[in-house]
């Protein structure tokens, strides 16, 4: 019974900070949850996942975006632009990761794995 009363008191007190006064942000200001989620999404790179000898996502990225590559296969792979100069990332198998910067010029950039000729994908920069 005392546990229930304590829980009810904590819930009531938790609500006090958000109903006005010091707990309310000034008009036009982002709440702490808004600002932290914006910061998180801005710092997390787009990720290409390699699984079962295939590429998964992203379909498109912004010019100059950081693109992460995660290899879930046991074998090593690459994400190498077909033109051989726009980007290249080699990644170890078994959960290895690598990162590259997407081209700054919008367009479609086909890529492949230099180790496995059957692996192909396309990165769209827009």
Q: C-alpha dihedral over 75, 76, 77, 78, to 10 degrees?
A: 180
**pLDDT score, position 102:** 97
Q: What CATH code is assigned to 45-126?
A: 2.60.40.420
Which residue ranges make up each domain of the chain?
Answer: 45-126
Q: Which residues on neighbouring strands pair with residue 69, listed in sequence order?
A: 48, 98
What's the pTM?
0.65
Q: Is residue 38 pLDDT above 80, yes or no? A: no
Region of residue 111 (left: phi > 0; alpha: psi -120 to 50; beta: else) = beta
Q: Is residue 17 pLDDT above 50, yes or no? A: no
Element of type H or E holding 40: helix 32-43
The region of weakest confidence among 32-46, 48-62, 65-79 is: 32-46
Identify the band that residue 59 occupies on the pLDDT scale cut at 50, 70 and 90: confident
Identify the band that residue 73 occupies on the pLDDT scale cut at 50, 70 and 90: very high
Which tops the pLDDT comparison, 105 or 26? 105
């Amino acid at each position: 019974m005392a546990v229930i009363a304590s829980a009810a008191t904590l819930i009531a007190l938790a609500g006090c900070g958000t109903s006005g006064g010091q707990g309310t942000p000034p008009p036009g200001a982002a709440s702490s949850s808004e600002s932290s989620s914006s910061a998180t999404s801005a710092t997390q790179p787009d990720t290409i996942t390699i699984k079962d000898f295939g590429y998964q996502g992203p379909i498109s990225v912004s010019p100059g975006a950081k693109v992460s590559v995660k290899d879930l296969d046991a074998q090593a792979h690459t994400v190498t632009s077909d033109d051989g100069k726009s980007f290249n990332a080699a990644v170890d198998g078994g959960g290895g990761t690598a990162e590259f910067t997407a081209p700054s010029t919008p367009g479609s950039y086909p890529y492949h794995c230099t180790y496995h000729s059957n692996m192909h994908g396309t990165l769209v920069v827009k």
